[in-house]
Structure 1
Amino acid sequence: MAADSNAEPIAKGTIPTIKQSFRDLFRWRQRVAITNEYGEVATEWQTPEPLQNPVKLFMQLSAKDWVFFIVGLLAWTADAFDFHALSIQTVKLAKYYDTSKTNVTTAITLTLLLRSIGAAFFGLAGDKFGRKWPMVVNMIVLGLLQIATIYSATFQQFLAVRSLFGLFMGGVYGNAIAMALENCPVNARGLMSGILQQGYSFGYVLAACANLGVGGSTESWKTVFWIAAGFSIAVGLVRICFPESNQFLEAKRSGKPKVTPAAFFRETRHMLAKEWRMCIYCIILMTWFNYYSHTSQDSYTTFLLTQKEFENAAASRGSIIMKVGACVGGTIIGYLSQFIGRRRAMVGAALISACLIPAWILPTSEPSLSASGFFMQFFVQGAWGVIPIHLNELSPPAFRSSFPGITYQLGNMISSPSAQIVNAIAESHFVTRAGNGDRVEAYGPTMGIATAIIALGIVVTAALGPEKRGSRFETTAPAGTDVEDLVKRPSDDAEAGSDSDVGRSEKGAEERIERV
């Protein structure tokens, strides 16, 4: 971005922020807060730079940056494969355990419900110990839990394993996006964010391809889970072979003292006291977004199998094409957000997806449904493509692993019943299928009405919320490092003979949180 002129400071407080954010949505120039080396903050109007050739943006990343990005992308893809191995095989699992499809989606609810706990634990571990080993543990345990799912003899065992699976699944997102994006050049972040987020859609595509390959027999679901287990464990083993994130390597070379648990949690407490409004806003935003994706995709294969009465192969092909659209849309709109702005990209994509809903659920032929599914998910995941970098930019800089992961997974927790709600309503309501007059479960109307409401919720929330496109967070030290420098140790206090220095030091720590 090119600086044009000074701007009024970024508003503080809920109502002033809403008013300023809504006005800024209709201004082309971006209001950006700049912090110099002395910690002094100035606010500028900056004009976005023209979109650059994607190939040139790719070339700005070093080989090491690409390694971090690709491993983060693979971790997120494997995470999505693990999750969707269940959601796209709901019908098979209902037959295998002799229960309803709604009961099977209870496993999805439990997984999403418990992901926030894993996000908190592994996100804080990532901010304190680094991105590497928390991710390694995450991925290997996820693979082992996929294997445990295969050997679940009863439906109760199946639900128990999937609950435990949710705990470890929650830890992947924060560490993966922090590791992948924190060293990307500023002007390449929109493009790389769009590509990274589509690891989730690509994981769905791979799971759907696996489902297509194994066929429609009831027992074939186990093969898909074996593939998912191997994928996750492989990513964990690959991550062992590469070094820690540059952020932590630079912090070690800087000669700063080792971060102690007391200093880390002290800074965490200061951050929450200062940024609680931002935390609540991001949780609300991610609740809408998680409802958005889970409502529009988790029951889509079931929709094709039941309401449209497709065979397993046709339903799998439709699901694959739908999520290919998601991969393309997320990449393109994430890239465009670098120029048009994060919030404008999300608002525009959500509005277009709402307009596409009739074309998404009304056709009856495979080609028509595949085409409308492609474009629907193009814009659903197009809006999602902005999220990784948007959350990173909104995060307190020293908490870029824990903050995105926790807010994302808390949104997931709140939206966890989405697939179960869709299935419960659809199974209890029926529509007449065009063509043969069959009475079929109303998956299409249920998904369409819910998605329309959610898309409008995203439009309002994004339009009234903050944006920090262009913020520079890549040089910030890990959480607790600067507080350890600022807060005097007891031995120093004894030598100084005064407790007042400690108070002044802790105040300095609070001022640091405010500055960043």
Structure 2
Amino acid sequence: MSHSIHSGASEIVNEHNKHIFRPPTFTSTAIKRYFKSRVTSLWVGREELSQYSWGELLNPFQALTELNLHQWNFFLMGFWGWTWDAFDFFVTSLNVTNIATDLNVSTKDVTWGITLVLMFRTVGAVIFGSIGDTFGRKWPYIVNMILLMVIQIGTGFVTTYQQFLGVRSLFGIAMGGIYGNCAAEALSDAPKRARGVLSGIFQEGYAFGYLLAVCFQRAFTMTDRTWQNMFFFSAGVPVIFIVWRFCNPETDNYQRQKARFEKGASQRNSKVAEFTSQAKKAWKAYWLIIVYMVFMMSGFNFSSHGSQDLYPTMLTEEYNFGHDRATVVNVCANLGAITGGIIISHASTFIGRRAAILIGNFTAGAFIYPWAFKPMWITAFFMQFGIQGSWSVVPIHLNELAPPQFKSFVVGTSYQLGNLVSSASATIEATMNETLNNYGKTMAIFLGAILAYLIPVVFFGPENRGAELGVERDDEMSIYDVDDLDDDKKDPDAQIGDVMEQSKEEKSKPLKQEAKKVVRAV
């Protein structure tokens, strides 16, 4: 019995410690071991899969029953913030031709407005991500929404091409701050088993925003000032999110982070010294991971923008789709994205993050030809099933890889640096089309090249599936940290909200409930 108890507690400790990132080493032995592990760790194996019931494996919504009202509240705030951010962005993509006509410029000129948004999003990610990790995520969220409202209204009033480029640049800065903070809000307090499918639902807020934009675009097509009215409409809805966020505190996860920071700052008698110490420690352990995240997100953003930004233009200009037919195809594409996002993100909980992403990428690759040369609802559906299905794993994958005390900054900035690298996607495709004079061929070649880059990057990259998202993740544990097995009347989920102080006993609190279950089972 004693041996079994010790073994069970050891499993808890080992599970925690294996997720700690340490400074990378570059010896030949370490490099060989790493690349070998990329193959052996790609699939979880039968033993782990056998721990789950068929209901858990096949029903992506079963895990959602573990969420309480608090967790749903923060998830939905993050989801809707990201969804409306996507809606605002795609208003331009859906109106490239209309804007070009009214401003008396070419389609290629208008795509520079999309490019500028993607380029300047990095600036917003750095600014608002830093503020979010240091002072809280509530006010960056609110300020972002206010800025988006003002800039969308301003875009509706532009009369010259120069004005259009100016407001889109400002929009990029405001938009850049949304992703990192919203992802942290949505996932930080969520139960571990539900994080995979929640990641997918959150990420597909992007596709859902596109879907909403397509539907409202069709409605506003019957008005005289289609694209201007779309911008004005998009500016009104965020008032709801501003009031919603104002009435809620910070997440439990961030409150633990703040408490630990203040504890360290009081010991050092300086908040600057504590911040510097944490930043140096995080950079030393995570610098290679952060560099990798930028390379990975560059490929992801190229795949997304390369398959979406000029797709409506391809349908209307290359294949002469009418408004109704183009709307149906675009709606089906985004329904495919949402379906793929839920299924593939849920699968990532059981088969691994990298394996799930690769399944989505290969699915997209298989549909490149029919998607580009035989556009119809079914080809659009499965292309975005693969592209956005892969994307659905990104929020939780990035959060598990990023240093926990700098999640908003690292996740948001790596995402937006990827956007910066891929910012010229629409312009590159428009330029290629001037030579090829065939949007289908242009987009097929472009997307094929991107997937040929992204697949090996993901395959050889790191993974930290199942890691804690709180600041206690990088605390080293030992077998003696799980020796307090007295009953605790708190809800196990509430244990995650306990602040992890310097003592080993307190550091291990989030795992004690699991240790108790192991002992009782024995």
User: Smaller-chain TM-score range?
Assistant: 0.7 to 0.9
Aligned to 2:459: 463
In the TM superposition, what are the counterparts of 1:242-321 in structure 2 within 5 Å?
A: 242-251=248-257, 256=263, 260-321=271-332
Matched, 1:179 2:185: yes
Percentage identity across aligned positions? 37
Q: For the structure 1 residues 105 and 373, does the alpha-carbon distance in structure 2 shift closer, same or farther, using more than 3 Å as the test?
A: same
Q: Which runs of 5+ in 1 are unaligned?
A: 32-44, 431-441, 479-511
Please say if 1:415 is aligned against 2:422. yes
Distance 1:17 1:404 in 2: 27
User: Is the 2:83–2:206 contact (alpha carbons within 8 Å) kept by the matching residues of 1?
Assistant: yes
Match of 1:23 in 2: 36
Counterpart for residue 82 of structure 2: 76
State whether residues 133 and 408 of structure 2, in contact with CA within 8 Å, keep that contact through their aligned partners in structure 1. yes
| Equivalent-residue separation in structure 1 for 2:470 and 2:168 (angstroms) | 36
CA distance in 2, matches of 1:46, 1:401: 35
2:472 is aligned to 476
SS at match of 2:146: helix
User: Aligned partners of 1:389 and 1:309: how far apart in 2?
Assistant: 40
Q: 1:29 to 1:197 in 2, by over 3 A?
A: closer
2:387 aligned with 1:380, yes or no?
yes
Given that 2:38 and 2:461 are in contact with CA atoms closer than 8 Å, whether structure 1 keeps it comes out as no
Change (3 A) 1:96 1:208: same
Find the counterpart in structure 2 of residue 454 from structure 1: 450
Letter of the 1:356 partner, please give it.
F
* Kept after mapping to 1: 8 A contact 2:121/2:419: yes
Note if contact 1:212-1:317 (Cα within 8 Å) is conserved in structure 2.
Answer: no
For normalisation by structure 1, the TM-score amounts to 0.82
Q: Write out per-residue CA displacement over residues 262-310 of structure 1, whole angstroms, 9 at most, x where no aligned residue.
A: 4324422442243221111000000000000000000000000100011
Give 1:509's aligned residue.
Answer: none
Deviation per residue, 1:110-168 (Å, 9 max, x gap): 11001011101100111011111111100111111000111112110110010011011
Equivalent pair of 1:398/1:477 in contact (CA under 8 Å): no
Map 1:1-20 → 2, pairs under 5 A: 12-13=24-25, 19-20=32-33
Q: Measure how far apart 1:324 and its partner are.
A: 1.2
Q: Report the Cα offset of residue 395 of structure 1.
A: 0.4
Secondary structure at the aligned position of 1:184 is classed as coil
Say whether the 8 Å CA contact 2:210–2:334 is kept in structure 1.
yes
2:238 counterpart residue number: 232
Cα distance in 1 between the residues matched to 2:190 and 2:100: 44
* Residue among 424, 427, 435 paired with 2:434: 427
Comparing both structures, which one devotes a greater share of its residues to helix?
2
User: Which is strand-richer, 1 or 2?
Assistant: 1
Q: Alpha-carbon deviations, 1:363-411, whole Å to 9, x = none?
A: 2xxxx61110001000100000000000000001111111110100001
**1:322 matched to which residue of 2?**
333
Change over 3 Å in CA distance of 1:234–1:23 after alignment to 2:
same
Q: How does 1:124-163 map to 2 (within 5 A)?
A: 124-163=130-169
Q: Which moved more, 1:7-16 or 1:99-108?
A: 7-16
Retained in 1: the 8 A contact 2:111–2:427? yes
Report deviation, 1:19.
4.5
Which residue identity does 1:50 align to in structure 2? Y
CA contact (8 A) 1:5 1:46 kept: no
Residues 401-431 of structure 1 show CA distances to partners (whole Å, capped at 9, x for unaligned) of: 111101000010011000111112113432x
Partner amino acid, structure 1, of 2:274: A
| Whole-angstrom CA distance in 2 between matches of 1:140 and 1:46 | 50
Name the count of aligned residue pairs: 451
Q: Distance in 2 between matches of 1:444 and 1:60?
A: 45
Q: Is the 8 A contact 2:138 2:250 kept in 1?
A: yes
Q: Deviation at 1:234?
A: 2.7
Distance 1:470 1:190 in 2: 9
Partner amino acid for 2:345?
Answer: G
Q: What's the offset of the Cα at 1:194?
A: 0.7
1:60 to 55, 60, 66: 66
How has the CA–CA distance of structure 1 residues 92 and 428 changed in structure 2, closer, same or farther, with 3 Å as cutoff?
Answer: farther
Shift in alpha-carbon separation, 1:341–1:3, aligned structure 2, 3 A: farther
Matches within 5 A, 1:34-45: none
Q: Following the alignment from structure 1 to structure 2, what is the Cα–Cα distance between the partners of residues 308 and 50?
A: 47
Q: Which letter does structure 2 place at the counterpart of 1:351?
A: F
Q: Describe the SS at the equivalent of 1:476.
A: helix
Going from structure 1 to structure 2, the CA distance change for 1:46 and 1:240 (only over 3 Å counts) comes to farther
1:86-109 Cα deviation digits (max 9, x unpaired): 011111111111111110000111
Give the conservation status (yes or no) of the 8 Å contact 1:130–1:245: no
Instruction: List runs of 5+ in structure 2 lacking aligned partners.
Output: 1-7, 475-506, 508-522
* 8 Å CA contact retained: 2:42, 2:352: no
Q: Distance in 2 between matches of 1:176 and 1:19?
A: 38
Residue identity matched to 2:40:
R
Assess, with a 3 A threshold, how the Cα gap between structure 1 residues 463 and 80 changes in structure 2: closer, same or farther.
same
Decide whether the 8 Å contact of 1:251 with 1:477 is kept in 2.
Answer: no
Q: Distance in 2 between matches of 1:453 and 1:218?
A: 40
Is the 1:3–1:47 contact (alpha carbons within 8 Å) kept by the matching residues of 2? no
- TM-score normalised by the chain length of structure 2: 0.81
Alignment partner of 1:360 out of 350, 359, 371: 371
